[in-house]
Amino acid sequence: MGSLSKTVQELALQGEEVPENFLYKDGHGGSADVPVMDVPVVDIGLLGTSAEELEKLKSALSTFGCFQGINHGMSLEYLNQVREITKQFFHLPLEEKQKYLREENDIEGYGNDMVLSDQQKIDWNDRLYLVIYPEDQRKLKLWPENPKLFRSTIHEYSVKIQSISEVILKAMARSLKLEENCFVEQCGKRSKLYGRFNFYPRCPRPGLSLGIKPHADGTAITLLLQDETVEGLQFLINHQWFRAPIIPEALLINVGDQVEILSNGAFKSPLHKVLTNSERERISLAVFYTPDSDKEIGPFEELMDESRPRLYRTVKNYVNIYFQYYQLGRRPMEASKIQD
């Protein structure tokens, strides 16, 4: 795995020049002029008691593969603090950020798009990628000491996101009439949370470049804290792109490939991408709830019968499969999908 010699942030400072390997010549850079996604807003606090809210969750995950989660127990003020330290980190001088540089053959650390092949288009995005939970899996040497509140804030955030994830995974199971712990148990006691702090500098060539190319997440579920004012994320629903709206106090929660497999396709892992913006920079924090790499992930028996045949093969260490396929420009899900 290689990496670029320059961060996107440095390239952005050079002015109009955008290197060729960022540019999509075929009109695939995307357009901001698409309809807004009518994505359901789910009150997470009601999922334990309201059958109606549970049905809303189920319907959102089977049609959109995502929902806006509110009433998750974190205040807007606290979420803004998390956003603020993310911004502060990327605004530090380059030499400071480079203390946490991703090393060759590692995915954790500060850096930009991994260059896996010569033909690959590169994303207009710098990121800091860290295991944030459980505590004993953290590589603290890659955790910024600056801004001063980074470590304590992200520690607290990771504990909260872990517990919110479990609430959601349990509700998802109940909504499918499954035993409530089945998703959590399949992910295993050694499931991890990865935090991907994203920074999208202003880009002089919007429409010709992408912040993140179209992909589905390789996770069980992803919990995204979007920028509080700058849009950019889009989802592909029934072959059409839609803008993800911003609700500042919400987490945008989406299904990843491994829950699509476990649910035998009842829940969809949606394709999504991020546009670039010439006017304003954007940040986000995606947290990836990732099953233990030793666990076998295949559809639950209860979700397969004559009318619902098995749609996916069982996979193990999906994150590895994910990168192999991604490198070839293929959708990682192909490794599991049984072709009809």
Please state the closest distance from residue 112 (CB atom) to ligand OGA, in A: 13
Q: Does 290 bind ligand OGA (CB under 6 A)?
A: no
Least Å from the CB of residue 218 to ligand OGA: 9
- Is 22 or 300 the residue whose CB approaches ligand OGA more closely? 22
Residue 90 tokens read as 């990327």
Q: Which of 53, 113, 123, 217 binds ligand OGA (CB under 6 A)?
A: 217
Q: Find the helix packing angle between 51-63 and 150-175, rounded to 10°.
A: 100
Residue 259 touches which member of Ni ion, ligand OGA, none, C-beta under 5-8 Å by kind: none
Instruction: Give 21's contacts (C-beta < 8 A, 6+ positions apart).
Output: 120, 121, 122
Nearest one of 86, 110, 1, 44 to 253, comparing CA atoms: 44
162 vs 242: CA distance, rounded Å: 28
Draw the binding track, 163-202, toward ligand OGA (x: CB under 6 A; -: no contact): ---------------------------------x-x----
Q: Binder to ligand OGA among 12, 44, 182, 212 (CB under 6 A)?
A: 212
Q: With contacts defined by CB under 6 A, how many residues of the chain interact with ligand OGA? A: 11
Q: Does 220 bind ligand OGA (CB under 6 A)?
A: no
H or E element that contains 94: helix 94-97
Closest CA to 159 of 135, 142, 137: 135
Residue whose CB is nearest to Ni ion in the complex, by number? 217
- Which H helix or E strand runs over 200? strand 192-200
User: Which residue of this chain has its Cβ atom nearest to ligand OGA in the complex?
Assistant: 284
- DSSP letter, residue 109: E
- Between residues 53 and 123, which has the closer beta carbon with respect to ligand OGA? 123
Secondary structure (3-state) at 21: helix
Q: Of residues 31-90, which lie at the interface with ligand OGA (CB under 6 A)?
A: none
Say which amino acid occupies 16: E
Q: Which is nearer to ligand OGA, 53 or 217 (CB)?
A: 217
Catalog residues that contact Ni ion under the rule CB under 5 A. 217
275 binds ligand OGA (CB under 6 A): no
Strand partners, 316: 296
State in angstroms the smallest separation of the CB of 253 from Ni ion: 12
Q: Whose Cβ is closer to ligand OGA: residue 53's or residue 113's?
A: 113
Closest among 74, 68, 70 to 253, alpha carbons compared: 68
Q: Which residues 222-251 are close enough to bind ligand OGA by CB under 6 A?
A: 224, 226, 233
For 49, the token pair is 């008691």
- For residues 122 and 24, is the Cβ–Cβ distance under 8 A? no
Provide the binding-site residues for ligand OGA, judged by CB under 6 A: 196, 198, 212, 217, 224, 226, 233, 272, 274, 284, 286
